[in-house]
Amino acid sequence: MTGTELATLSAEAVRETGLDLIQVPPQTPWMMRIEEHPSWETLAQLRVTIRTGVLMNRFKVRDLLNMKEGQVFESLSQATEDVPVSAGQVQLGWGEFEVLEQRMALRITRLG
């Protein structure tokens, strides 16, 4: 090499030079469920209307009122794209729809 050498220090060499290794914890999410958040008791009491929308082509209120069980409408949103989630005039992030038993749920996937 021309004046510069690349090398990695072994753990033994690090101990000899007196350098301390930083212990890095494994990459795990710090919170798996919102109920684990330290402020959950306060957050759970907030009453906020959250809105989301799906782009529909020529979908009218009449279509909504005439919907029958099992009827499907095609949306302009890609199935793989997250939908924007807002509270009031503020966009909180993005989410995805999920069916749980007989209920439709919205899972927040990204905060923004």
CATH number reported for the structural domain that contains residue 71 in this entry: 2.30.330
2 has pLDDT over 60: no
On whether residue 23 sits in a domain, the answer given is yes
Spatial neighbors of 106 by CB under 8 A, at least 6 apart, are: 50, 52, 83, 85, 95, 96, 97, 98
Q: Which residue range forms the structural domain that includes residue 16? A: 11-111
On whether residue 93 sits in a domain, the answer given is yes
On whether residue 84 sits in a domain, the answer given is yes
Looking at this protein, which amino acid is placed at residue 66?
A: N
What tokens appear for 83 in the block?
């939908």
On whether residue 2 sits in a domain, the answer given is no
3 has pLDDT over 70: no
pLDDT of residue 99: 79
On whether residue 3 sits in a domain, the answer given is no
On whether residue 43 sits in a domain, the answer given is yes
| First vs last C-alpha separation in the chain | 47
**Tally of domains in the chain:** 1
On whether residue 27 sits in a domain, the answer given is yes
- pTM for the predicted model, two decimal places: 0.49
